[in-house]
Every structure is written in structure tokens, then in C-alpha cells.
Amino acid sequence: MKTNTKYIFVTGGVISGVGKGIMAASIGAILKAKGLKVSMQKCDPYFNVDAGLLNPREHGECFVTNDGAETDLDLGHYERFLDEEMSGNSIWTSGKLYKKLIDDERAGKFGGKTVQLVPHVTGLVQQTFIDNAKHFGTDVHIVEIGGTVGDLEGSHFIEAIREFPTKVGRENCLFVHVCYVPWLSTSEEFKTKPAQNSLRDLREFGIVPDMVVARMDIDKTPRAPQVAKKLATFCGVNEDAVVLMPDAKSVYEVPLNAVKGGVLAPLERFIDHGDPDITIWEDLVKRIEANPRKEVKIGLVAKYIDNTDTYLSVTEALKAAAWKVGVKLKIVWINAEEATETDFEAVDGIVVPGGFGVRGVEGKISAATYCLEHDKPYLGLCLGMQTAVIAAARRGGLAKANSEEFAETDENVVYIMEGQKGKESTGGTMRLGDYPAKLVKNSKLAQIYGATDVVERHRHRYEVNQKFLKEIEKGGLVVAGTSPDGKLVEFVEAPDCKYFVATQAHPEFRSRPYRAHPLFEGLIKACK
């Protein structure tokens, strides 16, 4: 098959969490800086169909794409680094893969043939690469293989990428292996044996990488360059294709570190398209490394504070806003189950993020109540809007005001959306993805956005009950934006507060490190 598309496959070794997602996104950012059109994809070995029902404490954030797919948090990295929107087909789990094959088999699409790992599973995996590259019209399609090389559960993905060059040509495929090189303090030396072993595991599959990325602490010793020579000698790669990557203070330093570490040489052998213009990353890192005098403390009222990756896009959106405004950001984690007024007093502004379940919800309602009564800057996201509405309704005279998700009362100011009843434990059934909204002309939110027509991403099945708008308004909140047909409340604001805004959406998913989202920027400015 002839193709004009180049494919890059990124694998990881030695340990999980080695940073191959960030590295893959950084390679994509560098190639985009060369003027190339880049798309990305992740293949994850778990058998969940998507990330929608995964425990956030264990797996971190569920990132929602514009077409409504519930995905791995790495797709958030891809979007932030490339400033390109992914889709539901930008991630394929083993569960999603096998479900499609089984559905096709049950529908008789295999004509009675035996369905096997090879060629049917591997063939479907390969087809996703081709289909994604075609869909996005890309010059380079980057595929991250989740898990660690050698893991049994990911072997079908490894086999698929091994076979793939026979379809598109070896010259159109670049294999990148990210591995960890530990520093042994007792002997004061880097140990390359674990990396060598992970590369051997990869070679046993029949894949010799074109680039090896060695994660390490380069500042430990001047002997680090010897690591590149050793890995090249024992692993069969060019020495200039071994990229030494130090730990970074911010993930947004990684594209620059990759260029400094020598990533351009193997990339240019693969696809030569001029020098990258990395000005945007240089400017961003300068802002990140700046040390402004003014510090802003933002209280994040949440329940999964033992795994802050649950709120990764929120924290990244706050950082981007702080860099834009030019202040030092301190995120103060407030346990929603134990929150007190003392916690709220100690911060300059409050964010209540999205979430599900009754645990900690009264703490989130208390946070909204405090901000309404003390004119403290507040940003509510999804559940954070619903708890704000409950807080206002209680202030407006509805003592039993609550959400249908949490209580059965005749004052449920938040109720389940039409068509959602009975689907509460079912994956992929919520209102998901991009939806338009109409903001009230001259509202604070319209001023913040600089527009009355906006689009944001959603992930919810509960909605504000407009039957109680009178009481909600009496408690201090007004509707500032609805769905175009007016049936769904999408935004609320407090006219008497300096900055109290909330949305049913998840604007954090559309924030970029070098282009802060206006709602987060507005919050930081109000706290300055």
C-alpha cells in the first residue's frame, strides 16, 4: 500500500509512568513546529471499553473529546501540546477492540471464518492507524502504546505495530522506545541494564527502535553522555538516536529538552521538513520560570485529593491562567468531606470541579454558600454549578433544596435529564462532548467570553430544574446562559459578586498552556 503518511510508534519500558505520553506529545509538538500536520492515537491494553466507568482515584481524570468519547487523560496531553482536537477513535482499548470484533462476528461479517488474534485483531488495530491518519489528513500519525513492553496484555498491539511496516513500508515507520535509566546512589552511577532488558524485550517481538529516549536525572553526573554510548552499543541503535531526557519541573519544558537532547537528528532522518519554530514553547517556559511577587491561592474543593490527576485538566487550566495573568499560583487542596469556613477564608478564590456521588457534596455546597455570602471569587464546573444552584436555592428559602442524584425531596432544584433515568450506572450514556450555548447579552459571562455564542464540552446527566428559578434568583444566582432552545441551563452567575460564575460544562478541556481559557483567566484576575 502506497502512502504519503508517516507513522511513529512510541513504546515504554522498565517501569510504568515513564512519561511516554508526554514524550509522544512533545514529538508531535516538534513536528507541528516544523509545519507538518500531526495526529495522535493511544492504544491501551485494558479491557474497559472506555474510561467512563474507571475509578478516578486509581486512573485519574476521564478526558472527554469533542465528539463525546470518555478517554484516558493522555488525550488531554495530546490536545494541550498539539492544540488539535482528538476524537473517540483517537483511543482504542482492548475492550473496545474486542467488542467491535465480537459484534462483527455476531453480525456475520466474517462469513463463518474463524476469528483469530492474527490477522483479525492485529489487522483491526492497523486499520485504526490508517483510518485515523486519513480522517485527520495528517502528514505524521503518532501512536502511543499503553503499558510496558513485555506485558502480556499489550502483546497484540506490539504485534500489530511489528507487522505494520509490511503494509506501508519500513521507510514510513519510526519506532521510539522510552525507558528509564536509574541512578544508583551507593555506587554513584547510572544503571543501563533495565533499559537494555526492555530493549531486548522489544527486539524479541521483532522491533528494533529507531530512537531510544532515556529518562534520567542528567544533573546527577557529567557521566550521563556515557549512557547514550552504552545503550547504542548494546541495543543496536545509532548513538545520536539515543535522546537523554532529564526530569523537568514542568511537562511543557519537555519539547525544548527533547530538542536539546538530540531528538531532531533521528526525526530529520525520518522526515526532513526544515527547522522547527519552537518560539511558542520558549515563550511559555519563560512565563513558567518567571517568579512574580504576587501569589494567588486557589482552593480546589474536591474529594479525590489523594490522586490529584483526577483533576488534571482543571489544575493545568489554572496554571495556564496564572501564567497568562502573571501571578504565582498556589493550589490549596480542600477535602470536600472536611471543609470548613476556615479553609475558605484562607484562599483567594475557590474552584469546585465536576464529580459524581454524594460523598463530599455538602462541603461543596458550603463552599458555594461561603463565596456567595462573602463575595469570594468562585468558579463552578459541572457539579460545581449544581452545588452552587443548591446553595442559592437554600438561601432563597428552599431548606431541603438538593439534587435528585443525592436525595429524594420535593425541592430537588437539580434533576435527572430527560431520557437519562435508568442509565445512571451505564457507560457512555451521559450528555457528552461539545454543545453550543447562548449567553445572556451584557451578562458578566458574555463579557468574560467576549461573545454570546459559545461551545463547551459536557459530561453530565443531571440538570438545573427551571421550576425553581425564582428561589434560585432570590438566593443570589441568575441564569446567564442556556442551550439554544432554552431547555437546559448551561451557565449561572451572581450579579452581586465580583466573580461568581458556574457552568454545566467542562471548560478545562478546552484550555491550552499558551492560551488560557477565559473563565479561568477571569477567576485569577478576580483574585489578583
Q: Which residues are catalytic?
A: 382, 506, 508
Q: How far apart are the first and last CA of the chain?
A: 58
User: Residue 207: which of 232, 236, 167 has the closest Cα?
Assistant: 236
State the residue for C-alpha cell 515513564.
18
Where do the H-state alpha helices sit in 112-164?
Answer: 122-136, 155-163
**Would you put residue 369 in left (φ > 0), alpha (ψ -120 to 50) or beta?**
alpha
Q: Please give the sequence-ordered ranges of beta strands (E in DSSP) within 227-272, or none if there are none.
A: 242-246
Radius of gyration of the chain (CA): 25
Q: For residues 521 and 508, give the distance between their C-alpha atoms in angstroms, rounded to a whole number.
A: 11
Bridge partners for 240 per DSSP = none
- Cα–Cα distances in angstroms (integers) from residue 294 to residues 288, 367, 483, in the given order: 14, 24, 38
What amino acid occupies position 341? Answer: E
Cα angle 8, 14, 15; round to 5: 95
- Cα–Cα distances in angstroms (integers) from residue 195 to residues 8, 44, 262, in the given order: 20, 22, 18
Grid cell at residue 17: 509512568
Grid cell at residue 316: 493545568
Q: Is the dihedral of CA 259, 265, 267, 272 positive or negative?
A: positive
| Whether 371 contacts 350, CB under 8 Å | yes
Q: For residues 517 and 405, give the distance between their C-alpha atoms in angstroms, rounded to a whole number.
A: 29
